Amino acid sequence: MTVWRYLGILFGFCCVWSASMAQKPFRVMFYNVENLFDCRDDSLKDDDEFLPETEKRWTHYRYWRKLNALSKVVAAVGEEHLPDLIGLCEVENDSVVFDLACRSAMRTLGYRYVVTHSPDERGIDVALLYQPGCFRLLGTREVVVPSLQKGFRPTRNLLYVKGRVLSGDTLHVVVCHFPSRLGKTLVARRHRLLAAHVLRGVVDSVHADSPKARMIVMGDFNAGGKDEIFEEAFPAEYHEPAWETKPEGIGGSYRYRGIWETIDHIWVSPALMDVRNRLHTSDGKFRVAAFPFMCEPDKTYGGVRPFRTYQGPLYKGGYSDHFPVTVDFIWRFPDE
């Protein structure tokens, strides 16, 4: 079955199923899509690495092949229902997100999107795709991390989005991509702590207006779950739902030199962990989506690793060097 036909069948099934169920999962997904660049030269950004005439030979064929490969991942993660929200990082600009949502094999799925325009030197941004039938957009803004003022290279802006879900709740969402670890140097750590302080400002401002706010913060934090940056970024009551059973042979969302790490996270406010609320989740709902087609053998360290698009200059034709992560929520309609 082709990707197009599979996505079409899935979309039709989801529409019928959603209309007939008073209670269903609300699935949130985050995915670092590994350098989703277009094939055009942006004179204001350092994007020469991903052009047709350079060493990586990033052609239109490879670009569209990657878009349709990412569509396959979304369909697989959706299973019997589509992800309602999809946070993305390492997207170059609005054009690549438009191509993914509206021109690739995903175009039948009805996603809309918002995307940042960050000062990052390579031009990479973060974005949020959403199902308008399940998430009514109320507002969005970018939050700048003042890297240059603090002596660092520019990094990605945070994306704040507010919407209304079918339970009647207002949902606050932040998508982020924290600065790289750069060999785990002290400078890199200070830069990520700066991003964490900025994120904490967003979280605190939301709760100042609405103490019981329903808030989801997702992203590539370039840090494991016990890193101190999370103490800086979130109040103590915030929670990352615990894993469900880990897939066999998969120890995280990212693997570097044979070591598994989960550096892609989805954190939630206390109200979303309260099962008495119409919209809530619980421990055991966090998952790393690592389907066999997204894996390749790790010939150096054994086991498997994410099947990526490039390894250095070598084109491999895979999906990403990260696995997507998801959290399922339960919502009930207001009249229940």
**283-297 pLDDT, tens per residue?**
999 999 999 999 999
Dist CA 140 CA 164 (whole Å): 13
Higher pLDDT, 10 or 120: 120
Sign of CA pseudo-dihedral 194, 196, 200, 203: positive
Distances (CA, A) of 53 to 50, 58, 109: 9, 8, 34
Average pLDDT for 100-126: 96
Place 7 in a pLDDT band, splitting at 50, 70 and 90: low
Confidence check: pLDDT of 111 > 90: yes
Tell me the average pLDDT of the chain: 91
Predicted pLDDT of residue 275: 94
Higher pLDDT, 325 or 336: 325
Predicted pLDDT of residue 11: 46
Confidence check: pLDDT of 170 > 70: yes
Nearest alpha-carbon partner for 169 in 265, 87, 281: 281
Convert the pLDDT of each residue in 38-71 to its tens digit.
Answer: 999 998 898 999 999 999 999 999 999 999 999 9
Confidence check: pLDDT of 334 > 80: no
Give the three-state DSSP class for 29. strand
Confidence check: pLDDT of 262 > 90: yes
Q: The domain at 26-323 falls in which architecture?
A: 4-Layer Sandwich (3.60)
Nearest alpha-carbon partner for 244 in 272, 224, 218, 266: 266
Higher pLDDT, 16 or 62: 62
**Within 10 A of 206 (CB to CB), how many other CB atoms are there?**
19
Average pLDDT for 89-117: 96
8 A C-beta contact, residue 155 and residue 120:
yes
